[in-house]
Amino acid sequence: MTFVPIDQIRSYHAHIYFKDSDERETAAVLRERIGEQFLVQLGRWHEQPVGPHERPMYQVAFATALFASFVPWLMLNRCGLVILIHPNTGHARADHLVHALWLGNILAIERPEQLPEGPTDPAEDIVSPNTSPTLKPDC
């Protein structure tokens, strides 16, 4: 067995899924609050499944230092939405299939063979926050 040191994690993604109009509305409210509360990089809103994701979703990229506040907050506030949290180690296939953390049900990862095995350029995993939080992270 090979142990992977945690300093291999460059950043994280949270993929917040929605499957119908009710969940879409919840996901929109959650997205707005995330932006008010956390310094993260909010990705584009996808109305259709893209890449390896089987449902519509949006991505939230965040720095490793934010994990301890952001992930517990998502646990408490996901309102039934399915969320995939995966590390970015430069090995996208393993990050999605082996190293992933799911809140709610585990969904399929589509066409995993299209995810690069890596290693990939670390520059791809740099988080450029695009939010301007006005609320404390612990509220």
The contact pattern for Zn ion, residues 4-43, with x = CB under 5 A and - = no contact, is ---------x------------------------------
Work out how close the CB of 1 gets to Zn ion at its nearest, in angstroms, rounded to a whole number. Answer: 26
Tell me which H or E stretch contains 77: helix 67-77
Q: Tell me the helix, strand and coil percentages in the chain, rounded to 5.
A: 35, 20, 45
Q: Which of 111, 134, 50 is nearest to 59 (CA)?
A: 50
The nearer residue to Zn ion, 50 or 135, going by C-beta atoms, is: 50
For residue 134, the minimal CB distance to Zn ion (Å) is 26
Q: Which residue minimizes CB distance to Zn ion?
A: 13
Q: Specify the residue, 37 or 92, whose C-beta has the smaller distance to Zn ion.
A: 92
CA 89 to chain centroid: 14
Cβ distance to Zn ion smaller for residue 13 or 55: 13
Q: Which three-class secondary structure state does DSSP give residue 79?
A: coil
Q: State the residues that interact with Zn ion by CB under 5 A.
A: 13
